[in-house]
Amino acid sequence: MREKVEKALEGIRPYLQFDGGDIELLEVTDDGVVRVRLLGACGGCPFSQYTMQMSVEKRLKEEVPGVKKVEAIP
């Protein structure tokens, strides 16, 4: 599943980079939890929680069967 998550993140990454940020995949657990770290401008952005839920989590759930939740780790 990790490879599929990485591939899906590659589709999200250009949008984050456009605003000076990025995303790093830290872990994919056996029970479908994806842990990521927002980098650059995204790390301190007041809208980062919205980005996580409405963009990252939504897209990963759509593209990768088995993803249950996405968590941002500081």
Say which residues have a Cβ less than 8 Å from residue 48's Cβ, sequence separation at least 6: 38, 42, 72
pLDDT at 22 over 90: yes
Model-level pTM? Answer: 0.90
Tokens of 19: 């605003």
How large is the average pLDDT for residues 45-66?
A: 90
Q: Which residues pair with 27 in a beta bridge?
A: 35
2-72 CATH: 3.30.300.130
**Average pLDDT over the chain, rounded to an integer:** 92
C-beta of residue 2 within 8 angstroms of C-beta of residue 28: yes
pLDDT at 48: 85
What Rg do the C-alpha atoms of the chain give, in angstroms?
Answer: 11
pLDDT at 4: 96
Q: List the chain domain ranges.
A: 2-72
